[in-house]
Structure 1
Amino acid sequence: MNTEEQILTLQETAALLKVSQATLRRWIRSGQIPAFRIGRAFRVRLSDIEKKFKKQNVI
């Protein structure tokens, strides 16, 4: 059983959602998308994206 969480960069997340990185950053700043930092770079958990957007058939 694979228990490792898949972590995405902003570039990967933006491509998955078909939005610009600027839009994704705005969503993160407003709290619409949960994210965390590793150093100076934001990272997003794939499971958080799936929970948020699966209901809307975005992914």
Structure 2
Amino acid sequence: MAEFAEVRFLTVAEVAGLMRVSKMTVYRLIHAGELPAVRFGRSYRVLESAVSEALQRPIADVG
């Protein structure tokens, strides 16, 4: 049970604030499978660790 104490879920609005994007962009990332999420009723929750990983990935390969 100790490992679950460290797990933190974020709302779509919180994720949007951390990533500095709109909530619609977060929903698009979730539906595209680029940001794993869990659905609770009519809302989504995203693991904080998944957001950290998404922010570490390169967005585009420019060059």
Normalising by the residue count of structure 1, what TM-score does the alignment of the two structures yield? 0.81
Partner of 2:9: 7
Normalising by the residue count of structure 2, what TM-score does the alignment of the two structures yield? 0.77
User: What SS class does the counterpart of residue 17 from structure 2 fall into?
Assistant: helix
Q: Distance in 2 between matches of 1:30 and 1:5?
A: 23
Instruction: Flag structure 2 segments of 5+ consecutive residues without an equivalent.
Output: 59-63
For the aligned residue pairs, the C-alpha RMSD in angstroms reads 1.8
- Identity among equivalent positions (%) equals 36
Greater C-alpha radius of gyration: 2
Give 4+ residue runs of structure 1 displaced > 6 Å after superposition.
Answer: none
Instruction: Flag structure 1 segments of 5+ consecutive residues without an equivalent.
Output: none
Name the stretch that deviates more: 19-28 or 46-55: 46-55
Report the Cα offset of residue 53 of structure 1.
Answer: 1.4
